[in-house]
Amino acid sequence: MVGMVGGFCAGLLFSAGWRTDTTRPALAQATRAGALSVADVAERTVASVVNISATRKAVSRSPAFADPFFREFFRHFGPGMPSPRREQSLGSGVIVSSDGLVVTNNHVIKNAARIRVTVAGKQEYVAKVVGKDPKSDLAVLRLKGAKNLKAINFGNSDKLRLGDVVVAIGNPFGVGQTVTMGIVSAKGRANVGIVDYEDFIQTDAAINPGNSGGALINMSGELIGINTAILSRTGGYQGIGFAIPSNMVKPIMGSLLKRGRVIRGWLGVSIQQVNRDLVRALGLPTAEGVLISDVDPTGPARRAGLKRGDLVVKINGQPVSSVGRLRNLVASAGASAKIQVEFFRRGKKLRSTVRLAELPPKLGSNAAPRTGKLGLAVAELNAQGIRQKYNIPLRLKYGVVVVQLDPSGAAAGAGLREGDVILEANRAKLGSVRRFSEILRNANRKYLFLVYRQGATLYVIVQN
């Protein structure tokens, strides 16, 4: 079972089955003609990687408060409810303009009341959030009063090859700037389950807690990724790290700077991965591609003539090998963009030009809007990728899934966890997110939830 431990300093994934070769190539083999040495790369770029300290409000809790019974007991007879306190996290960021623009991970600065950034281990700045995009885990900061900083140049992450040497720079464990070296182990990792939009570079360069938001750099001294997460059994580095590629970072950063938000393209289809059973059952000519399982009657795909059962194999000439790859290509193209879709229909290869629309807010995530009074967001049980991400068995036919929690909210305080399936609310079965929202609106301040968690069910009382 793969799960994510969300930290303020780094995203951590745990797995029992993934492996990678962490053998370090000799430095003489690592450099090609025209490339720099590792020492040259570090010398040129380390000053462009900053330390980020984010302070946020949190609530101090005894483990007893996670149990609804003891929570009610302490409310009436105990020493009082948990009191607010402040938490501080450390992360990294990358200077991308001399006047103080910094790119980092969204989870590094999430819910921060105050952000301070230290440049080159000396000068400290107060930072303002220009924009953030939780769906890709990116954020852009501006350092107040900064000028003449050393900015890093963007490289072309599409040109990376497996085995290319890369350097990771960050601030692991808050000990100061560190440099590690590794290789590109894989590209296009789109089904990791960290965020909604993934196209990760996988590397064996050591990325530890605190490296989140730091730089992944090629041997020409260019930024080709933002370090984001590691795959680990222990929480420490075990040879598998993930970075958001620079060619994904640049358009998202540009949209955040221009509009304060990311405007993604929308094709208007439901899609699924192809397997051998589907190939046989539908008579598909190949297993390479993504199957359209439904078409929105008002969406761009319908207007362009795409139909259910079409097998999409290329977008703008680029092969589509997975659901994540298709979503990324469409989203990054942006609203109003024209894309060329190559697909099979009944064994015949066809092409269509589609003018994309803007991704509707309600489709931008599997989560419903966060409810202010309870501090949680939920998703449809059968929303794309939800069952796989949270290991929910097919025998569960109804319910909504908790996909986000405010640590200081009533739901988290009552003991709800991300991945819980809420089967009933106030004795009513939940068939949809809409039904869940209706019950919350019409009920009093106290809610009785029947929750499925890891093979068992339990009742949880949430009181606002």
Active-site hit among 107, 199, 255, 420: 107
Q: Which of these, 155, 131, 153, lies nearest to 141 by C-alpha position?
A: 131
Catalytic, 255? Answer no
Active-site hit among 53, 136, 212, 365: 212
Active-site hit among 89, 133, 137, 164: 137
Q: Show Cβ contacts of residue 433 under 8 Å, excluding neighbours closer than 6 positions.
A: 368, 378, 379, 380, 400
Dihedral-angle region of residue 260 (phi above 0 means left; psi in -120 to 50 means alpha; beta otherwise)? left
Q: Which of these, 192, 319, 172, 171, lies nearest to 243 by C-alpha position?
A: 192
Please tell me the distance from the alpha carbon of residue 309 to that of residue 321, in angstroms, as a whole number: 16
The three-state secondary structure class of 441 is: helix
The three-state secondary structure class of 173 is: helix
Tokens of 112: 């921060």
Query: At 172, which amino acid appears?
Result: P
Rg for the chain, CA atoms, rounded: 23
Residue 371 is given by DSSP the state P
Catalytic, 420? Answer no
What element of type H or E holds 168? Answer: strand 165-170
The three-state secondary structure class of 411 is: helix
Catalytic, 98? Answer no
Strands (E), 15-98: 49-59, 84-95
Instruction: Sort 77 into a burial class: Cβ within 10 Å, 0-12 / 13-18 / 19+.
Output: exposed
Residues annotated as catalytic (active site), given as ranges = 107, 137, 212
